[in-house]
Amino acid sequence: MDRTISGNTIGTAGTINSGCQVAGCSGISIGNNNSTGTHVLSMTSNHIHDTEGSGIDVISGGGSDSSIMSLTIQSNTITNPDQDAGAANAAILVQSGSSVGTDSTDTCADISSNIISGTWSLGTSHHSSIRVRSLTTASGSFALLNFNPATDYANSTGPAGTTGGVGNVGNVADFLRSVNPSVTNAPPGQNAASATQGSAAFTGSAGCPTD
């Protein structure tokens, strides 16, 4: 399956709940579980404003899923979050797999050149604009395009998972900031990238599948 979501405008910047007015509702939401095969999805140059949930969320895998998910999330503009104070919705959320079941999802993602403003994930310590979660079992994987686990990307300050050296999951967040310059991990507001992982550590990829 190959799909493209590009050039759309969802919501009006500054108009409350114009993107989605239901709590937790995202501007673009993709779910895939208990499937097989290769799924290629590109989300580029979309403008998403004033959502109650995330701007873009992708939950890849879960249950008995053994599929390959190849994602391009690039050059999107996401602004004006309208979530409540207890919400944990990042502007961009990508989750690979689930800690429940026999999931062996392989996810490869290019998350780059996105322009994000506003304070997201209000109900968390990390206030993430971009959040990635590797929850697949050890037989699955989550690779990020051009990420090199042996490179120490520029560190900052912030909660666990938002910054760190080689071998620390926070280094994944540092990499994501390096390819999404509007995500600064700077208080006030934090505007962080963050990462969390279970059995499968994040890896790098020179090129995600195209078919």
In tens, the pLDDT along 41-72 reads 999 999 999 999 999 999 998 888 899 999 99
The token duo for 210 is 């195209």
The answer as to whether 61 is a domain residue is: yes
Q: Please list the residues that pair with 70 across neighbouring strands.
A: 40, 108
Tokens of 80: 């004006």
- Please indicate, yes or no, if residue 113 is contained in any of the structural domains: yes
Contact 26, 20 (CB under 8 A): yes
Q: In total, how many domains does the chain have? A: 1
State the residue range of the domain holding 89: 2-205
Peptide bond into 159 cis (omega under 30): no
Residue 123 lies in a domain: yes
- Is residue 98 included in any domain, yes or no? yes
Rounded distance, CA 82 to CA 87, Å? Answer: 10
In a domain, 210, yes or no: no
What is the rounded average pLDDT of the residues 85-98?
A: 92
Q: What percent of the chain has pLDDT over 70?
A: 96
Quick one: average pLDDT of 130-138? 94
pLDDT of 188: 62
Q: For Cα atoms 62, 69, 134, give the angle at the middle one, nearest 5 degrees.
A: 55
Residue 211 lies in a domain: no
Q: Are 97 and 105 in contact (CB under 8 A)?
A: yes
Q: What is the pLDDT of residue 157?
A: 85
The answer to whether residue 76 scores a pLDDT higher than 80 is yes
**Structure pTM?**
0.95
> What are the phi and psi torsion angles at 189 (to 5°)?
95, -25
The answer to the question of residue 179 being in a domain is yes
Confidence at residue 205, expressed as pLDDT on a 0 to 100 scale:
97
With 90 as the cut, is the pLDDT of residue 35 above it?
no
Q: Is residue 65 part of a domain?
A: yes
What is each CA distance from 17 to 53, 78, 114, 174, in whole angstroms? 10, 13, 21, 31
